[in-house]
A and B are shown apart, each in its own frame.
Chain A
Amino acid sequence: MSRLSRWDVKYSPYLYIAPFFVLFGLVGLFPLLYTAYVSMFDWDLLGGDPVFVGADNYLALFSDNQFWTTLTNTLSIFVLSSGPQIVIAVLLAALLNSRLRAPTAWRVGVLLPYVASLVALGIIFANLFGPNYGLANNLLELVGLDRVDWQADRFASHVAIAVMVNWRWTGYNALIVLAAMQAIPKEIHEAATVDGAGPVRRFVSVTLPLLRPTLVFVVITSTIGGLQIFTEPKLFDAMPGSNNGGSSNQFQTITLYMYQSAFEGGHLGYASAIAWVLFLVVIAIATVNFLITRRLAAGSGVR
């Protein structure tokens, strides 16, 4: 065997898989590490040479009230969106899984909000939740409730933004869950029926446990997405183009604050520190969610 073909056998496989790793290194790993590097400098967009400051950006961040406000906002919006979203998505999937006329039409139907432009949705929802002339308040008044200032009230603004997020993502998640449901063998359901289990019992004891891997996936992806909500709060602000997230940052998310620090304030180092803290928060919460989902779904029924 010639030396050339020995090399071929030994190194060619690496060459074949190289594109992924090169791309990942270029657009995944490098930005990640470079952000960490930038976060240790006082790095101004137009301010000349960056100065090394070590952990100062992180220390400043932890004593920055606005950071804690935005972190709380992010978690609040995340809980208000991801929680209901996954519950509704599973129920919706169960509905879609039953015998419907024109199943494809329904499935495409639930995906429509996802196809629509995010910016258009943002503008429409900001209109619906307008404090003075919005439809939401008119409806509230119609049923005899008080008007809500969706812009000024912190919790109300989070609810409004969460509605926007849920509107867009529930259908998408429902389809993923639906695919998993259809992969569950019919025999198991038949066996359960023979054992005397009704539809609810079958859903709880058969379907849910078998959905576990998919639910873990859905929970993790919506955690990652939910903690990085950006466009919705940006467009929700009454002041066009503003990154403030409301008059007192009442619905500014952490990504929005990061964006404001970097591109409005020009503080690239500080923004990079925010980015890294957000990265760690996402990993931490995703891990916790992973563990919880695994336990919950494993807790009942079939093993």
Chain B
Amino acid sequence: MRQRPTLLAAIAVLGATVACGGPADGRIELTIGTFTEFGYEQLLTEYEAAHPGIKIVHNRTGQGGPYHQALFTKLGAGSGLADVQAVEEGYLADVLARPALFHNLEQIGPATADRWLDWKYQAAKAKDGSLIGYGTDIGPLAMCYRKDLFAAAGLPSEPEAVKPLFASWQSFFAAGDQFVAKSGGKAWFDSAAQIFNAMHNQLDTGYFDRQDRLTVEQNPAIRQNWDQVTAAVARGQSAKLVAFSNEWNSGFKSGAFATKTCPAWMLGVIKEQAGAGNAGKWAVTDAFPGGGGNWGGSFLTVPKQSRHPKEAAELAAWLTAPEQQVKAFLKAGTFPSQVKALTAPELLGGTDAYFGGVRSGELFATQARKVGKAQYKGPGDGKIQENASTPALQTVEQGASAREGWQRFVDSAKKLAK
């Protein structure tokens, strides 16, 4: 109620532009905008020391949502963006759809050939072939599971032994049935949308084809995934907990589900939410149904608004070089996307006591190489996941039939794509 002050404040924040007057000492001032934690503070100081002519201002936003909203508002306004601007994977499609607003890094930046895993590199290419972003980190998918719950339900529980359960989606859902039956009705996974998204990202074609036409109704694979997931919901496999909600957090603590699709950064989430009391109960294994997958990770872009594009591209290229990303990984846990970084001893030596002392660095490096080719994401792809498929799957979990849910999904997707 009486929303005005809050709205006005929000607009004021959106409208606040980055003050950009060059410093008086003749140095070039570069601004860089990131969100949450990229682990760059130390690196930026290092860069300034090595380049006396450059001063760097780091604008950090706490949350990804408001950060990207401000990013697109400033893109629309035509001013106010930083020289180097981070973009998260889920928002990349909307950026790639407007290559005219960003610099082609292969044109203005230093040579960076073969630096990244191919799928990460391809994901940052616009349709016209220009490279819009340098890859920073990734979220290669593995499977996390509750060892104790598996054992109690008579399933294998050691990381090597559970791999066959996660060989394909079929085996995954079959094991789910077994688990639900033997555990007295406990849920197998956290929510339908989490599984559906992972399955969807493994398809050759996403929600849009290369001509940016919506494929939801035409692509039988999407419908098949839908049917499989909603059938599993009907058989009691879903805990029906919306990802990242309060109740989802509580679900980790109370052991409401037995498996979790697990990108590298999810280990931290599980540790925090399940808490010390559940240490040793969770495990992670280097298998993922249907091959591999990626969830999350970001890119550094240089908007056309930048007044020092060349210097900005140099900074972004330096930050995303393997040596620097390994340092960022050690600082903030952002899993590097660079081929060379994946063989760095600092990364491969990493272990995680909470997950039974697993060699987590090596495990996720293996999973990163299993990711197939980058799926083409049309403009609005992220919105369809967030505002069409996820809520529609939630309605099924709340009691709607699979058919009703599908219809809702199709209708909202069409509306969003309009």
Task: Identify the A interface with B (CB < 8 A).
Answer: 45-46, 66, 81, 118, 123, 126-127, 130-134, 149, 151-152, 165, 168-169, 221-222, 224-226, 228-232, 238-242, 244, 246-248, 255, 259, 263-266
8 closest A-B pairs by CB = A152-B398, A247-B394, A225-B2, A225-B1, A238-B245, A238-B242, A45-B76, A241-B65
Chain A residue numbers with a CB within 8 Å of B65 are: 240-241
Query: When the two chains form their complex, are residues B1 and A130 in contact, meaning their CB atoms are under 8 A apart?
Result: no
**A247 touches which of B2, B72, B391 (Cβ 8 Å):** B391
B4 sits at the interface (CB 8 A) = yes
B254 sits at the interface (CB 8 A) = yes
Cα-based distance from A151 to B245 in the complex (angstroms): 12
B386 sits at the interface (CB 8 A) = yes
Given A46-B94, A244-B391, 17 more contacts at CB 8 Å? A45-B76, A123-B246, A130-B247, A130-B250, A132-B250, A132-B251, A133-B247, A221-B2, A228-B3, A229-B3, A239-B244, A241-B63, A241-B65, A247-B391, A264-B387, A265-B383, A265-B416
Closest CB-CB distance, A115 to chain B, in whole Å?
Answer: 14
Cα-based distance from A133 to B415 in the complex (angstroms): 34
Can you name 24 A-B pairs with beta carbons within 8 Å?
A45-B72, A45-B73, A46-B75, A81-B1, A130-B250, A132-B241, A133-B250, A133-B254, A152-B399, A222-B1, A225-B3, A226-B1, A228-B4, A230-B6, A238-B242, A239-B245, A239-B391, A244-B387, A244-B391, A246-B391, A248-B391, A248-B395, A264-B383, A265-B416
Chain A residue numbers with a CB within 8 Å of B240 are: 132
Query: When the two chains form their complex, are residues A239 and B390 in contact, meaning their CB atoms are under 8 A apart?
Result: yes
Chain B's closest residue to A119 (CB) is: B6
Cα-based distance from A133 to B239 in the complex (angstroms): 12
Chain B residue numbers with a CB within 8 Å of A246 are: 391
B50 sits at the interface (CB 8 A) = no
B408 sits at the interface (CB 8 A) = yes
Chain A's closest residue to B400 (CB) is: A248
Cα-based distance from A151 to B395 in the complex (angstroms): 10
Known: A225-B3, A231-B3, A239-B242. A248 touches B408 (CB 8 A): yes
Chain B residue numbers with a CB within 8 Å of A264 are: 69, 383, 387
Chain B's closest residue to A126 (CB) is: B246
Chain B residue numbers with a CB within 8 Å of A46 are: 72, 75-76, 94, 98, 101
Cα-based distance from A254 to B386 in the complex (angstroms): 19
Chain B's closest residue to A134 (CB) is: B247
Cα-based distance from A248 to B73 in the complex (angstroms): 27
Query: When the two chains form their complex, are residues A238 and B247 in contact, meaning their CB atoms are under 8 A apart?
Result: yes
B251-269: which residues lie under 8 A (CB-CB) from chain A? 251, 254, 256
Known: A230-B6, A239-B390, A241-B65. A165 touches B1 (CB 8 A): yes
Which of A45, A130, A132, A165 has most chain B Cβ within 10 Å?
A132
Name B's interface SS.
helix
Cα-based distance from A239 to B75 in the complex (angstroms): 26
B205-221: which residues lie under 8 A (CB-CB) from chain A? none
Chain A residue numbers with a CB within 8 Å of B247 are: 130-134, 238
Chain B's closest residue to A242 (CB) is: B386
Known: A45-B73, A225-B1, A228-B1. A240 touches B245 (CB 8 A): yes
Chain A's closest residue to B243 (CB) is: A239
Query: When the two chains form their complex, are residues B73 and A247 in contact, meaning their CB atoms are under 8 A apart?
Result: no
B82 sits at the interface (CB 8 A) = no
B7 sits at the interface (CB 8 A) = yes
Chain A residue numbers with a CB within 8 Å of B3 are: 225, 228-231, 255
Chain B residue numbers with a CB within 8 Å of A132 are: 240-241, 247, 250-251, 256
Chain B residue numbers with a CB within 8 Å of A133 are: 246-247, 250, 254
Which of B75, B76, B400 has most chain A Cβ within 10 Å?
B76
Query: When the two chains form their complex, are residues A247 and B76 in contact, meaning their CB atoms are under 8 A apart?
Result: no
Cα-based distance from A118 to B1 in the complex (angstroms): 10
Chain B's closest residue to A118 (CB) is: B6
Cα-based distance from A158 to B250 in the complex (angstroms): 24
Chain A residue numbers with a CB within 8 Å of B250 are: 130, 132-133
Closest CB-CB distance, B185 to chain A, in whole Å?
Answer: 14
Chain B residue numbers with a CB within 8 Å of A239 are: 242-245, 386, 390-391, 394
Chain B residue numbers with a CB within 8 Å of A266 are: 72, 76
Chain A's closest residue to B386 (CB) is: A242
Query: When the two chains form their complex, are residues A229 and B246 in contact, meaning their CB atoms are under 8 A apart?
Result: no
Closest CB-CB distance, B402 to chain A, in whole Å?
Answer: 14
Cα-based distance from A66 to B100 in the complex (angstroms): 33
Chain B's closest residue to A124 (CB) is: B246
Chain A's closest residue to B249 (CB) is: A133
Chain A's closest residue to B388 (CB) is: A244
B374 sits at the interface (CB 8 A) = no
Query: When the two chains form their complex, are residues B398 and A151 in contact, meaning their CB atoms are under 8 A apart?
Result: yes
Cα-based distance from A220 to B386 in the complex (angstroms): 37
Chain A residue numbers with a CB within 8 Å of B251 are: 132
Which of A152, A221, A226, A246 has most chain B Cβ within 10 Å?
A152
Cα-based distance from A225 to B7 in the complex (angstroms): 12
B413 sits at the interface (CB 8 A) = no
Chain B residue numbers with a CB within 8 Å of A238 are: 242, 245-247
B392 sits at the interface (CB 8 A) = yes
Chain A's closest residue to B415 (CB) is: A66
**B244 touches which of A45, A134, A152, A240 (Cβ 8 Å):** A240
Chain B's closest residue to A153 (CB) is: B398
